[in-house]
Structure 1
Amino acid sequence: MGEYIVNFSNWIWDTPMLILLMGGGFVLFVYSGFLPFRHLGHAIKVVRGKYDETNVPGQISSKQALSAAIAATVGLGNISGVAIAINMGGPGAIFWMWMSAFVGMATKYFSCSLAIMYRGKDSSGEIQGGPMYVIEEGMGKRWKPLSVLFSVAGVLGLLSIFQANQLTAVLRSVLLIPNGLDNGESTKWVLGILMMITVAIVILGGIKRIAAVASKLVPFMVILYFATVVLIMIQYIENVPSMIWLILTDAFTGQAAMGGAVGAVIVIGARRAAFSNEAGIGTAPMVHGASKNNEPVREGLIAMLGPFIDTIVVCTLTALVILLTGVWESTENDGVRLTLSAFEMALPGFGKYLLMIAVLVFALSTMFTYSYYGHKCFNYLFGAEKANYYNYFYLVTIVAGAVASLEVVVSFIDGMYAIMAIPTMISTIYLAPKVKAATKVYFDKMKKEEVGK
């Protein structure tokens, strides 16, 4: 079974997803008039709360929506995902992660604007957002099979099995194995059960509790990780320019990639970027669609900051640590254990503990937010009155992720993400003219207000 999962994931990400995500994202990037570059400053003002509204539909603030979305994206994809990308595609894969992030900013701008523009209601009458509602409300009932396809893939693909797997790996490597406390498979089961209980305490409180916890954890984990990485980079500061040059040159030579093909490096970079920042997958529109915001463009501007923070900033920092320490060439470790080796080499004695804390916070915050995504998909398929059953299914699979193999877990999630991206990108491109028209109206209004002052 594992072999079929791996083969399917490799096939669908080879060309179909490259064309859909990077090609479609590039089209949106150009169609927007390079909006992510032109209005980045305005987006930062918006997220700081300058234009917050009250007494509008929704469940959480725009800032909380961004925090929850970043909690799901700034996580183990930035630690393990980057390591996997370098392992599989060499340093050049990071360049293609950057390219995916820039076009992903445009994709998130359009998809999250649409999530506010075309909100729907679940069976209990609660305002909801996300690709499934965008498709049904914006494209019409005849497109509902795409909504169902997205939701089915979301129920399965938004499980936190990868986070459980990698958190188990780092806890065993740092705390248990060195102290002779690891009993192999039984230890994985125990750690999985402990993670399940911790996540249950938060997610059973619903989106408001998830958003409240995420809005506190996200700044903490980003600052901690950023500070640790900067500390490492200072030690190797003279080598930073050469490592950046290595990323740029290797992106077009493909010498370190599987088979030595540039195309393989591009696929690996795009695949890991999609897992890291989730642009075009459809997860962020679900949480941004719950925002207390009546202005679609404003929500889209907030959302587009996600891929920038996630991939351009955090993933680059991780990549530089791995490359600067040279562990990518001198060890056979994979995933989080490769990053762990880099931290331990650069900061002997305590580096691994700092990374362990970061991984713990990253993994748990992602687990909290993913539960909300899957819950919304289940809600759409089976109704609000049955949606809470999903939480119990979600919690049980955390244990399964802790004991499964990394290759199967990564391939399963990648495969489901690919299926989710199909309805998301089709609807985003189809309805893009609506967003472009709203963008013009919004910025014309902003100019008039500035002149009026």
Structure 2
Amino acid sequence: MGDIIIEFSNWIWGPPILVLLLGGGLFFLIHSGFVPFLKMGHAIKLLSGKYDDNLAPGQISSAQALSSAIAATVGLGNISGVAIAINMGGPGALFWMWMAAFVGMATKFYTCSLAIMYRGKDSAGEIQGGPMYFIEEGMGKRWKFLSVIFCVAGVIGLLAIFQANQLTAVIQAVLIQPETMEETVRNRWIIGFVMMGLTAIVILGGIQRIASVASKMVPFMVGIYMITVLIIIYQYLGQVPEMLKLIVVDAFTGNAVMGGAVGSVIVVGARRAAFSNEAGIGTAPMVHGASKNNEPIREGLIAMLGPFVDTIVVCTLTALVILLTGVWENSENDGVRLTLEAFEIGIPVYGKYLLMLSVLVFALSTMFTYSYYGHKCTNYLFGAGKANYYNYFYLATIVVGAVASLEVVVSLVDGMYAVMAFPNMIAALYLAPKVRAASKSYFERMKANGI
């Protein structure tokens, strides 16, 4: 079964999905008039809450929506995912992660604007947003099959199995260090059940509790992690230009790992960027669609900050730590263990504990938000009355993720992400003229009001 999952993931991440994500994102970037670059300042100002309308329909504020979305993306994709990218595709994979992030900002601007523009109601009459709703409300009922495909893939792909797997790995490596395979397996089961209990406390409280916890955890976790990696980078400051040059050169040669297979490096970079910032996958529109906001463009501007924070800032810092310490060249470790080795070299004795703290907070915050995404997909497929059953299924799979193979876990998530991307991107491209028109109207009104 594991081999089938791995083969399916490798097959679906072929040229069609890369053209859709990277080409579609490039189209959005140009079609928007380069809004992600020209309106970044305005997007940051919106986070102040000055323009919030607490009487608007929705469950959470736009800032809470962004915090929840970042809690889902700024996680183990930035610690473990970057390590996997470098391990598989060499330093050049990071360059293609950057490119995917820049076009991903435009993609999130469009998809999260649509999440507010075309909201629907679930079977309980609650206002909801996300790809499944803007497909049905924006494109029409005849396209509903795309919503169903998105949600079925979401129920599987948005499980926290990767986070559970990697958090278990780092706890074992730092704190427990088992001596036998029997101890390793037993510890994985125990850690899995503990993670399940911690996650249950938060997710069973609904989106309000998830958003409240995420809005408090995100600044803390990003701050701790960035301070730690900056301390390591400072020790190798003179080598940073050389590493940046290596990243760019290797992106077009693939010499470091792939033996000149540039196409393979691009694939690795795009896959890991999609896992890291989820631009084009359709997850962020689900949480931004719950914002108390009547201005679609305003929500899209706030949402586009996610890929910048996630990939351009956090992933780059992680990659520099791995490259500067040299662990990528001769290590047999993979995933989070590779990053752990870099932290141990950069900050002896204490580095591994600082990373473990970051991994713990990153993984748990992602687990909280992913449960909401899967809950919304289940809500759409089976109705609000049955959606809560998903939470119990979700919690059980945390234990499964803790004991499963890393390669199978990564392939399952990657494969389902690709399936989700197809309906999300098709709908966003179809409805792009609506976003463009709304964007023009919004900025004209802002200019008239002197904003």
**Shorter-normalised TM-score: what interval?**
over 0.9
* Equivalent residue, structure 2, for 1:65: 65
Flag the 1:13–1:181 CA change in 2: closer, same or farther, 3 A.
closer
Give 1:77's aligned amino acid: G
- The answer as to whether partners of 2:178 and 2:184 remain within 8 angstroms in 1 is no
- The offset of 1:95, in angstroms, is 0.2
- Aligned partner letter, 1:286: M
Matches within 5 A, 1:358-377: 358-377=358-377
Counterpart residue number, 1:301: 301
Asked if the contact 2:93–2:247 (Cα under 8 Å) also holds between the matched residues in 1, the reply is: yes
Cα distance in 2 for partners of 1:54, 1:371 equals: 25
1:326 corresponding residue in structure 2: 326
Say whether 1:189 aligns with 2:180.
no
Aligned-pair distance for 1:133?
A: 0.3
State the partner residue of 2:346: 346
Does residue 1:272 correspond to 2:272, yes or no? yes
Q: Any residues of structure 2 matched to 1:207-246 within 5 Å, and which?
A: 207-246=207-246
Partners of 2:93 and 2:265 within 8 A in 1:
yes
Shift of 1:230: 0.6
Equivalent pair of 1:172/1:182 in contact (CA under 8 Å): no
Cα deviation, 1:97-123, whole Å, max 9, x if unaligned, reads 000000000000000000000000000
Tell me by how many angstroms 1:304 deviates: 0.1
1:17 shift after superposition = 1.3
Q: What amino acid is the match of 1:273?
A: A
Distance in 2 between residues matched to 1:207 and 1:182, nearest whole Å: 39
Inter-partner Cα distance in structure 1 for 2:435 and 2:198: 40
Normalised to the residue count of structure 1, the TM-score between the two structures is: 0.98
Q: TM-score of the superposition, structure 2-length normalised? A: 0.99
- Kindly state the Cα deviation for residue 259 of structure 1 after the two structures are TM-superposed: 4.8
Matched residue of 2:143: which SS? helix
What amino acid is the match of 2:185?
E
**Residue 74 (str. 1) matches residue 74 (str. 2):** yes
Q: Deviations over 1:44-93 (max 9, x none)?
A: 00112221112110000000000000000000000000000000000000
Amino acid at match of 1:216: K
Structure-to-structure mapping, 1:380-391, within 5 angstroms: 380-391=380-391
Asked if structure 2 preserves the Cα contact closer than 8 Å seen for 1:91 and 1:256, the reply is: yes
What SS does the corresponding residue of 2:348 show, helix, strand or coil?
coil
Supply the distance in 2 between the matched residues of 1:160 and 1:389 (Cα, whole angstroms).
16
Q: Is contact 1:176-1:182 (8 Å) kept?
A: no
In 2, Cα distance between the equivalents of 1:258 and 1:10? Answer: 16
1:36 and 1:242 map into 2 onto residues whose CA distance is 29
- Matches of 2:237 and 2:48 in 1, distance apart? 32
Deviation at 1:213, TM superposition (A): 0.2
Q: In the alignment, residue 77 of structure 2 is paired with which amino acid?
A: G
In structure 1, stretches of 5+ residues that fail to align are: none
Query: Could you list the per-position Cα deviations for residues 281-327 of structure 1 after superposition, in whole angstroms to 9, with x for gaps in the alignment?
Result: 00000000000000000000000000000000000000000000000
CA offsets per residue over residues 218-259 of structure 1, 9 Å max, x none? Answer: 000000001001111110011111111110111001112435
How far residue 179 of structure 1 moved from its aligned partner, in angstroms, is 9.0
Question: Does residue 122 in structure 1 map to residue 96 in structure 2?
Answer: no
Contiguous gaps of at least 5 residues in structure 2: none
Taking the aligned partners of 2:366 and 2:112, their CA distance within structure 1 comes to 19
Large movers: runs of 4+ above 2 Å: 178-182, 256-260
Q: Which amino acid aligns with 1:384?
A: A
Counterparts of 1:313 and 1:50 in 2: how far apart (Å)? 26
**Conserved? CA contact 1:257–1:264, under 8 Å:** no
Counterpart in the other structure of 1:146? 146
Offset of residue 15 of structure 1: 1.2
Query: Secondary structure at the residue paired with 1:184?
Result: helix
Structure 2 counterpart of 1:249: 249
Task: State the shift of 1:180 in Å.
Answer: 9.0
Letter paired with 2:66: L
The alignment yields a C-alpha RMSD, in angstroms, of 1.2
Corresponding residue SS for 2:450:
helix
- Equivalent pairs: percent with the same residue? 74
| Of 146-155 and 260-269, the range deviating more from structure 2 | 260-269
Give 2:144's aligned amino acid: K
Q: Does 1:109 align with 2:132?
A: no
* Cα distance in 2 between the residues matched to 1:219 and 1:346: 23
Q: Which amino acid aligns with 2:220?
A: F
- The letter of the residue matching 1:278 is E
Distance 1:299 1:144 in 2: 24
Which residue does the alignment assign to 2:260?
A: 260
Give the secondary-structure state (helix, strand or coil) at the position aligned to 1:387: helix
Residue 49 (1) aligns with residue 64 (2): no
For the Cα contact (< 8 Å) 2:327–2:338, is it kept in 1?
A: yes
**2:173 matched to which residue of 1?**
173
**Structure 2 CA distance for aligned equivalents of residues 394 and 178 of structure 1:** 28
Structure 2 CA distance for aligned equivalents of residues 254 and 180 of structure 1: 38
Q: Count matched residues.
A: 451
The one-character-per-residue Cα deviations of 1:173-193 (angstroms, maximum 9, x if unpaired) are 000007999812111101000
Say yes or no: does 1:86 pair with 2:86.
Answer: yes
| Alpha-carbon separation, structure 2, partners of 1:179 and 1:218 | 35
